[in-house]
Amino acid sequence: MSAGPSGYQTGSQQAPHAEQTATSGRIGVVTPSLPDWMSSTLAADGAGGQGALPPWIVALSPDATVLGPALVVTVGRDDNSPMKQVPGAVTVDGTVLVIAGAGESRTAVLGDLVAAELRRAGIAAVVTDWLIRDSRAVAALGLPVWARGVTPVASRKDGVGTVGGTVVIGGVPVSDGDVVVADADGVVIWPQTQVTSYLQAADAKRQADEAKAASG
Protein backbone atom coordinates (compact mmCIF):
# COMPACT_ATOMS: atom_id res chain seq x y z
CA MET A 1 0.00 0.00 0.00
CA SER A 2 1.48 3.36 -1.02
CA ALA A 3 1.01 6.77 0.50
CA GLY A 4 -0.29 9.77 -1.39
CA PRO A 5 -1.02 13.40 -0.49
CA SER A 6 -1.31 14.11 3.23
CA GLY A 7 -2.11 10.64 4.48
CA TYR A 8 -4.15 9.40 1.53
CA GLN A 9 -3.71 5.67 1.12
CA THR A 10 -4.02 3.88 -2.20
CA GLY A 11 -5.23 0.29 -2.18
CA SER A 12 -8.29 -1.52 -0.87
CA GLN A 13 -9.50 -1.13 2.69
CA GLN A 14 -12.79 -2.36 4.16
CA ALA A 15 -14.60 0.45 5.91
CA PRO A 16 -15.74 0.04 9.51
CA HIS A 17 -19.44 0.36 10.26
CA ALA A 18 -20.40 4.01 10.73
CA GLU A 19 -21.76 4.55 14.23
CA GLN A 20 -21.89 8.35 14.46
CA THR A 21 -25.22 10.14 14.61
CA ALA A 22 -26.50 12.18 11.71
CA THR A 23 -26.18 15.40 13.66
CA SER A 24 -22.50 15.28 14.51
CA GLY A 25 -19.21 14.28 13.01
CA ARG A 26 -17.83 12.58 9.97
CA ILE A 27 -19.55 9.45 8.74
CA GLY A 28 -18.36 6.78 6.35
CA VAL A 29 -14.97 5.79 4.99
CA VAL A 30 -14.24 5.40 1.31
CA THR A 31 -12.16 2.75 -0.41
CA PRO A 32 -9.51 4.00 -0.86
CA SER A 33 -9.75 6.34 2.13
CA LEU A 34 -9.82 10.11 1.91
CA PRO A 35 -8.09 12.42 4.40
CA ASP A 36 -9.91 14.04 7.32
CA TRP A 37 -9.65 17.50 5.78
CA MET A 38 -11.81 16.62 2.78
CA SER A 39 -14.99 18.67 2.28
CA SER A 40 -17.42 19.24 -0.55
CA THR A 41 -15.78 22.57 -1.34
CA LEU A 42 -12.31 21.02 -1.64
CA ALA A 43 -13.78 18.11 -3.59
CA ALA A 44 -15.31 20.59 -6.03
CA ASP A 45 -12.03 22.51 -6.25
CA GLY A 46 -10.12 19.30 -6.91
CA ALA A 47 -12.50 18.37 -9.71
CA GLY A 48 -12.48 21.81 -11.30
CA GLY A 49 -16.14 22.28 -10.40
CA GLN A 50 -17.22 19.03 -12.04
CA GLY A 51 -19.47 16.51 -10.31
CA ALA A 52 -21.28 18.92 -8.00
CA LEU A 53 -24.98 18.14 -7.61
CA PRO A 54 -27.43 21.05 -8.02
CA PRO A 55 -28.30 23.18 -4.97
CA TRP A 56 -31.88 21.91 -4.80
CA ILE A 57 -30.48 18.66 -3.40
CA VAL A 58 -29.97 19.88 0.15
CA ALA A 59 -28.57 18.52 3.40
CA LEU A 60 -31.39 17.52 5.76
CA SER A 61 -28.76 16.87 8.48
CA PRO A 62 -26.37 19.77 7.79
CA ASP A 63 -23.97 18.96 10.64
CA ALA A 64 -22.98 15.65 9.01
CA THR A 65 -20.03 15.13 6.68
CA VAL A 66 -20.01 11.93 4.62
CA LEU A 67 -17.27 10.34 2.50
CA GLY A 68 -18.16 7.03 0.91
CA PRO A 69 -18.41 4.79 -2.14
CA ALA A 70 -21.66 5.01 -4.08
CA LEU A 71 -24.26 2.31 -4.56
CA VAL A 72 -26.78 3.57 -7.11
CA VAL A 73 -30.51 2.95 -7.41
CA THR A 74 -32.75 3.77 -10.38
CA VAL A 75 -36.41 4.43 -9.55
CA GLY A 76 -39.64 5.33 -11.31
CA ARG A 77 -41.92 8.21 -10.43
CA ASP A 78 -43.49 7.71 -6.98
CA ASP A 79 -42.35 4.04 -6.86
CA ASN A 80 -39.76 3.01 -4.27
CA SER A 81 -39.87 -0.74 -5.02
CA PRO A 82 -36.07 -1.14 -5.41
CA MET A 83 -35.45 -0.09 -1.80
CA LYS A 84 -36.24 -3.59 -0.56
CA GLN A 85 -33.34 -4.93 -2.66
CA VAL A 86 -30.74 -2.49 -1.32
CA PRO A 87 -29.70 -4.27 1.92
CA GLY A 88 -28.67 -7.36 -0.02
CA ALA A 89 -26.60 -5.29 -2.47
CA VAL A 90 -24.40 -3.53 0.11
CA THR A 91 -20.89 -4.98 0.19
CA VAL A 92 -18.97 -2.32 2.17
CA ASP A 93 -20.00 -0.56 5.38
CA GLY A 94 -19.96 3.21 4.90
CA THR A 95 -21.62 3.01 1.48
CA VAL A 96 -23.56 6.07 0.29
CA LEU A 97 -26.85 5.21 -1.44
CA VAL A 98 -27.50 7.41 -4.49
CA ILE A 99 -31.14 7.21 -5.65
CA ALA A 100 -32.05 8.85 -8.96
CA GLY A 101 -34.99 9.14 -11.33
CA ALA A 102 -37.49 10.74 -8.96
CA GLY A 103 -37.13 14.41 -9.81
CA GLU A 104 -40.89 14.67 -10.38
CA SER A 105 -41.96 12.37 -7.54
CA ARG A 106 -44.22 13.83 -4.86
CA THR A 107 -44.03 10.88 -2.47
CA ALA A 108 -41.28 9.67 -0.12
CA VAL A 109 -38.51 7.30 -1.17
CA LEU A 110 -38.01 6.25 2.45
CA GLY A 111 -39.22 6.72 6.01
CA ASP A 112 -37.99 5.51 9.38
CA LEU A 113 -38.57 1.79 8.76
CA VAL A 114 -36.61 1.71 5.51
CA ALA A 115 -33.94 3.95 7.05
CA ALA A 116 -33.44 1.47 9.89
CA GLU A 117 -32.97 -1.36 7.38
CA LEU A 118 -30.43 0.70 5.44
CA ARG A 119 -28.41 1.48 8.57
CA ARG A 120 -28.33 -2.19 9.57
CA ALA A 121 -27.06 -3.04 6.08
CA GLY A 122 -24.15 -0.57 6.37
CA ILE A 123 -25.51 2.42 4.45
CA ALA A 124 -23.91 5.58 5.87
CA ALA A 125 -26.03 8.17 4.04
CA VAL A 126 -28.55 8.71 1.25
CA VAL A 127 -28.32 11.16 -1.66
CA THR A 128 -31.44 11.47 -3.81
CA ASP A 129 -33.47 13.70 -6.12
CA TRP A 130 -36.55 12.43 -4.26
CA LEU A 131 -38.26 13.35 -0.97
CA ILE A 132 -38.29 11.53 2.39
CA ARG A 133 -40.73 11.29 5.28
CA ASP A 134 -40.35 10.67 9.04
CA SER A 135 -37.40 13.04 8.74
CA ARG A 136 -36.82 13.50 12.48
CA ALA A 137 -36.84 9.75 13.08
CA VAL A 138 -34.53 9.16 10.11
CA ALA A 139 -32.05 11.70 11.50
CA ALA A 140 -32.28 10.13 14.96
CA LEU A 141 -31.34 6.77 13.42
CA GLY A 142 -28.04 8.30 12.27
CA LEU A 143 -28.84 8.31 8.55
CA PRO A 144 -28.02 11.72 7.04
CA VAL A 145 -29.92 12.49 3.84
CA TRP A 146 -29.39 14.91 0.97
CA ALA A 147 -32.70 15.31 -0.90
CA ARG A 148 -35.21 17.72 -2.45
CA GLY A 149 -37.12 17.91 0.81
CA VAL A 150 -39.77 16.13 2.87
CA THR A 151 -43.35 14.93 2.52
CA PRO A 152 -45.76 12.82 4.61
CA VAL A 153 -46.91 10.77 1.59
CA ALA A 154 -45.80 7.15 1.06
CA SER A 155 -44.74 5.77 -2.33
CA ARG A 156 -46.27 3.02 -4.44
CA LYS A 157 -44.56 -0.34 -4.94
CA ASP A 158 -45.26 -1.29 -8.54
CA GLY A 159 -41.98 -3.09 -9.16
CA VAL A 160 -40.28 -0.33 -11.15
CA GLY A 161 -36.54 0.33 -10.82
CA THR A 162 -33.20 -1.39 -10.30
CA VAL A 163 -30.24 -1.47 -7.89
CA GLY A 164 -26.69 -1.03 -9.20
CA GLY A 165 -25.08 0.24 -12.38
CA THR A 166 -25.07 3.90 -13.39
CA VAL A 167 -27.56 6.72 -12.85
CA VAL A 168 -27.76 10.42 -13.64
CA ILE A 169 -28.80 12.66 -10.76
CA GLY A 170 -29.06 16.41 -11.17
CA GLY A 171 -27.26 16.08 -14.49
CA VAL A 172 -24.29 14.27 -12.92
CA PRO A 173 -23.56 10.62 -13.84
CA VAL A 174 -22.83 8.31 -10.89
CA SER A 175 -21.70 4.68 -10.99
CA ASP A 176 -21.28 2.10 -8.26
CA GLY A 177 -17.99 2.73 -6.47
CA ASP A 178 -17.66 6.40 -7.37
CA VAL A 179 -16.70 8.57 -4.40
CA VAL A 180 -19.39 10.72 -2.76
CA VAL A 181 -18.35 13.73 -0.66
CA ALA A 182 -21.29 15.43 1.06
CA ASP A 183 -21.68 18.04 3.78
CA ALA A 184 -23.65 21.21 4.56
CA ASP A 185 -22.47 22.89 1.36
CA GLY A 186 -23.64 20.14 -0.97
CA VAL A 187 -22.66 16.91 -2.71
CA VAL A 188 -19.75 16.22 -5.07
CA ILE A 189 -19.17 13.01 -7.02
CA TRP A 190 -15.68 11.85 -7.98
CA PRO A 191 -15.48 9.07 -10.62
CA GLN A 192 -13.35 6.16 -9.45
CA THR A 193 -10.88 6.73 -12.28
CA GLN A 194 -10.24 10.34 -11.23
CA VAL A 195 -9.84 9.97 -7.46
CA THR A 196 -6.03 10.16 -7.38
CA SER A 197 -5.70 13.19 -9.67
CA TYR A 198 -8.63 15.02 -8.06
CA LEU A 199 -7.21 14.38 -4.61
CA GLN A 200 -3.83 15.79 -5.60
CA ALA A 201 -5.53 18.92 -6.95
CA ALA A 202 -7.68 19.28 -3.82
CA ASP A 203 -4.64 18.90 -1.58
CA ALA A 204 -2.74 21.54 -3.54
CA LYS A 205 -5.70 23.93 -3.20
CA ARG A 206 -5.95 23.25 0.53
CA GLN A 207 -2.26 23.93 1.08
CA ALA A 208 -2.42 27.11 -1.01
CA ASP A 209 -5.40 28.34 0.99
CA GLU A 210 -3.67 27.59 4.29
CA ALA A 211 -0.53 29.42 3.16
CA LYS A 212 -2.57 32.44 2.09
CA ALA A 213 -4.46 32.49 5.41
CA ALA A 214 -1.18 32.22 7.37
CA SER A 215 0.43 35.10 5.46
CA GLY A 216 -2.59 37.33 5.75
Query: Which residues are paired to 96 by β-bridges?
Result: 70, 125
205 vs 119: CA distance, rounded Å? 34
204 pLDDT above the threshold of 50: yes
Helices in 37-163 by DSSP H: which ranges? 40-46, 86-89, 112-121, 135-140
Tell me what pLDDT residue 33 has.
65
Helices in 112-193 by DSSP H: which ranges? 112-121, 135-140
Task: Tell me the pTM.
Answer: 0.86
Phi, psi of 119 (to 5 degrees): -65, -45
Q: pLDDT for 121-131, tens place per residue? A: 999 999 999 99
Rg of the chain's alpha carbons, rounded to an integer? 17
H or E element in which residue 207 lies:
helix 195-215
